[in-house]
Structure 1
């Protein structure tokens, strides 16, 4: 739950609105072509883990290990999106969304990762795309959101250079089947997270803790990111908008003006925010700030790789949830830095332990938008996990509603300062399986009762509907207007 220091007891604290987010504002301020959506991911929502020929993924394997997931939970049913996608899309349409971002499960399409296509699995995504279009929801398809086929992990997974070809084959299959209707494609979801948490920290699948595994997986993900883009463009040269997504956090030093902390912050920024971005622009890896990378990567980089890492993306997906405060640490090689938890700093934080700091979105949009030749930016994930309070068929989530308002205000702030940002996707459409945290943290605009699979649109989702319908966000208490009663059923 949100933890507030004694001086911040208002359930909608001013901390949500730092540094003059532009108030009042409305949807019209963003322009007529701005994309408004919510996002989801296959393993976190679909369930149907062995249904109709689907092969196992590394997350199916990882969740079987005792102690890897809180309460030993798993995604075998999750939010049952595989069977309930039409209901969820009806709710998305009812909220006035214009776009829906989702991922495909690689092992649902290719149970062995390569080779024979599972037609029934591919047919599901065919039906899902059609269902989006029937509801005037533009589908945004992410090719890879962390659920690598187990069969490919057995052959080395991301630490094998062969994965570049495996992934390219998968991308081509998806483009050929769905490219006539899907315009917006994201190649990878947050490579620093699935590489770092999965191969260095061991807290995500496949659960490895090895610097060499991290570096080889990171380099191969960089190559696959560009190669996947080329595979899509070769098949869809004129019709597709091709992007990829990056996790990022606005970083500040623990002690401003302290040389060690300032240097640690620059190193952390190079690793966490720049590592996968700059190779796409032909800038290579940020070895100036992280010189240890140079000799460590020498064993994995082959002649011609720096050119192969480049790709002219049409958009970058910016995925931001918080800022991080960085302190020098002599015990952590490579970046010599550690992150100071929000709880230790006495600031508001969410169920994930992340500081409530919507301004981080503005700062990262400015940082990414400052690159020469940067493409259009889209906020493809932004959200917050707070406890829900259910009363008389309504789910009251005032802190999440306040965060959503503030985050959207920070996007407009960046846009008004000249950043080319073209969309905002809330994470997530529904509550879902939150990886190592299990089903505890809830990010959804739609509440899911995991025992009954009942859906209830939360107050945050109702506010999003009203905002997209033209409601103006105003300063002070007026920013939190009474939500109008639903004009259509919001419980399923």
Structure 2
């Protein structure tokens, strides 16, 4: 079996990571604009002030996407670019940018997939309590309505959030990402609750105000994707249990996020593990979170192995010395793109999209003027073969978005990591498609059949 004939192939990027123009044309500040000014917060003091300058170079970038035969592009909107205070007065120049970008994509026959929030939270709303404020779901609903009323005559594919457990967990529990805080567990879980309410209100708003029939989803990361160390049934069950149980008191568990929005309830292990730290749940909250979704987006980069221990409980199995790693020091685990979609689809029965997958590689422009990245080609081929296997086993996988179209600002790692299919010289902003970009073009053109060519 190959990929389904209507399979969606694309690339992904995020506003703060590529747009730049951080202070241009009325844009408000985000928590990342603030965080990048904190000494030591971002590698080498890098910021997203300029990034890939996509705000001014979007036409060039869309032309590149067209040249590479990309059918779909997953982008995000900068909330403070269109609402500088997060709510209230609208920045028309910011809205105009997204109008032009969407029109440019459609003129190139590239379908836009719009993520409403990819981490650049408005600084003014943060100063009002951010995700701890019980009004935050309505703030997000108001922002969603603005974007849907503006773009839904042309945009038919929406995602509410990108990786909520990362922007809550790394931003507010560990403090490694913006806004760089470390709250106690009760506050962190209350934020999680408000984010899920925001997601639900966002979905309701898209359904109510969209001018065209829309597909709506939410993007989560399966984190350190749990997968079995062997194909023994007991190890498969151990990996599944490890993925969906809540065994430690933090906000990084898959089921903490997916059970409320896809099943309408918190998992039992949330109550037993979190105890008194559980958030305040008002009547109707879980129903608001649990809105019908057309797909669930999964961002999967690597996995961890689990096996059944002597007591039958899941035990993490370390990789052997010398196991392949990316430049980011993430283990290369192609099977993660089989087990992640399989486990999620079996538990929730909702179609899956891989909304991010890729690797950081040590890329530079060679003396021949090209960028040779055979490791990325090998990596993507291995992972896509595993995703195809998931399709063959009956998992309803609707699409795959490679991360990322451009090398870009990799959050707290600054410009150290290069994830792009296209190399960016940050001093000159010159774009150079890598070998992997042309390879991916062949994969798309053949709907995956070229994976079998060595």
TM more than 0.5: yes
How large is the RMSD of aligned CA atoms in angstroms?
2.6
Deviations 1:348-387 (A, max 9, x none): 1112221101210110110111124x32211111111111
CA 1:460–1:281 in structure 2 vs 1: closer, same or farther (change >3 Å)? same
Secondary structure, counterpart of 2:16 in structure 1: helix
Q: Matched residues in 2 for 1:340 and 1:196: separation?
A: 24
Q: Matched residues in 2 for 1:199 and 1:326: separation?
A: 28
2:27 to 25, 41, 54: 54
CA 1:355–1:169 in structure 2 vs 1: closer, same or farther (change >3 Å)? same
CA contact (8 A) 2:148 2:210 kept: yes
Secondary structure, counterpart of 1:291 in structure 2: helix
Q: Matched residues in 1 for 2:317 and 2:350: separation?
A: 32
CA 1:313–1:390 in structure 2 vs 1: closer, same or farther (change >3 Å)? same
CA 1:268–1:68 in structure 2 vs 1: closer, same or farther (change >3 Å)? farther
**Residue 473 of structure 1 corresponds to which residue in structure 2?**
450
**Residue 302 of structure 2 corresponds to which residue in structure 1?**
322
1:318-397 alignment to 2 at 5 Å? 318-325=298-305, 345-372=321-348, 374-391=349-366, 392-397=368-373
Deviations 1:403-459 (A, max 9, x none): 111222122111111111111100000000000111011110000000110000001
RCO higher in 1 or 2 (8 Å CA, sep ≥ 6)?
Answer: 1
1:15-414 alignment to 2 at 5 Å? 29-210=2-183, 211-236=185-210, 239-248=213-222, 249-252=224-227, 267=245, 271-288=252-269, 291-298=272-279, 300-325=280-305, 345-372=321-348, 374-391=349-366, 392-414=368-390
Q: Matched residues in 2 for 1:43 and 1:164: separation?
A: 22
CA 1:359–1:349 in structure 2 vs 1: closer, same or farther (change >3 Å)? same
Most deviating of 440-449 and 272-281: 272-281
Q: Matched residues in 1 for 2:177 and 2:318: separation?
A: 20
CA contact (8 A) 2:219 2:299 kept: yes
CA contact (8 A) 2:244 2:255 kept: no
TM-score (norm 1): 0.84
Gaps of 5+ in 2: 308-313
Cα offset for 1:124?
0.4
Secondary structure, counterpart of 1:61 in structure 2: helix
CA contact (8 A) 1:185 1:242 kept: yes
Gaps of 5+ in 1: 1-21, 23-28, 328-336, 480-492
CA 1:474–1:437 in structure 2 vs 1: closer, same or farther (change >3 Å)? closer
Q: Matched residues in 2 for 1:118 and 1:186: separation?
A: 22
TM-score (norm 2): 0.90
2:424 to 426, 439, 448: 448
Cα offset for 1:469?
2.6
Cα offset for 1:318?
1.0
Secondary structure, counterpart of 1:200 in structure 2: helix
Structure 1 segments (4+ residues) deviating >6 Å? 253-258, 261-265, 337-342
